[in-house]
Amino acid sequence: MFIGHFAVGFAAKKYAPRASLAALLAAPLFADLLWPPLLLLGWERVRIDPGNTKMTPLDFVSYPWSHSLLMDVVWASLFALGYYLLARYWAGTIAIWLGVISHWVLDWITHGPDMPLYPGGPRYGLGLWNSVAATMLVETAMLAVGLWLYVRETRARDRIGRYAFLAYVLLLLVFYFGDAFTAPPESVGQIAWPGLIAGVVMMVWAWWFDRHRMQAKTPALEFQ
Ligand SMILES: [Zn+2]
């Protein structure tokens, strides 16, 4: 799953409006942000295998540290704890904990049977990726709902808040639909390096435009 993870982060803004969108996105994307550096370190492995599922030419040979349920619970707890110590904001802390774990659940629905319960443990996957149409329908619908919640919860303070946000969404869609029509990568480096760089850029960019948006509704407390 790709834009579906972004959908979770955008939607979380409704429940944790004072948390930065960057943190709310980094949580559901955490496993995928961790994956490229682990590939480069050789701790996790992927094989290029066109036709593995209809949606991706990748065979996820082994990714116990980024993509097992047990490790995702560990990452969720560490991320949530770190966030709580910095921000002292319960709604954001809970959104982050649930967000990190949501990655496993959503990947379990989309991937073939390669999602481990724990490192070295049994692997599961319902295989939504065997249908391109179904995958795109589900993910596009998820993103639409996530964006709708985000747009209702926030409003642009200035042009950056409006246009940098719109450009972000547009780029997500271009990545997502463009990827379905491009040739498979030729090497693991061609996945890991762009993945690593894109991950950092997308988080910083989200932090940037989100700072230029504000809560659409003034919290009731401010009237008291
Ligand atoms: Zn993933």
What are the tokens at 16? Answer: 């944790």
Q: What is the whole-number distance in angstroms between the Cα of residue 220 and the centre of ligand 1?
A: 38
CA 20 – ligand 1 centroid, Å: 22
Spacing, Cα 187 to ligand 1 middle (Å): 19
Strands (E), 80-195: 115-116, 123-124, 154-156
Show the low-confidence residues of the chain (pLDDT under 50): 222-224
Q: Give distance in angstroms: CA of 194 to centre of ligand 1.
A: 15
| Distance from the alpha carbon of residue 87 to the mean position of ligand 1, in angstroms | 27
The pLDDT of residue 178 is 87
Going from the Cα of 106 to the center of ligand 1, the distance in angstroms, rounded, reads 8
pLDDT for res 179? 81
Which residues is 47 bridged to in the sheet? 59
Supply the pLDDT for residue 217.
79
Helix count and strand count (H, E) for the chain:
10, 6
Q: In the chain, what's the furthest Cα-to-Cα distance?
A: 61
| Res 96: pLDDT | 98
Give the Å distances, CA to CA, from 163 to 13, 17, 157, 160, 212: 19, 20, 11, 5, 10
Query: Distance, CA 88 to ligand 1 centroid (Å)?
Result: 28
CA of 205 to the centre of ligand 1 (A): 21
Question: For position 224, what pLDDT does the model report?
Answer: 40
DSSP helix/strand/coil, 62: strand
- Ligand 1: centre distance to CA 104 (Å): 7
Q: How far is the CA of 215 from the centre of ligand 1 (A)?
A: 30
Tens of pLDDT, residues 140-159: 999 999 999 999 999 999 99
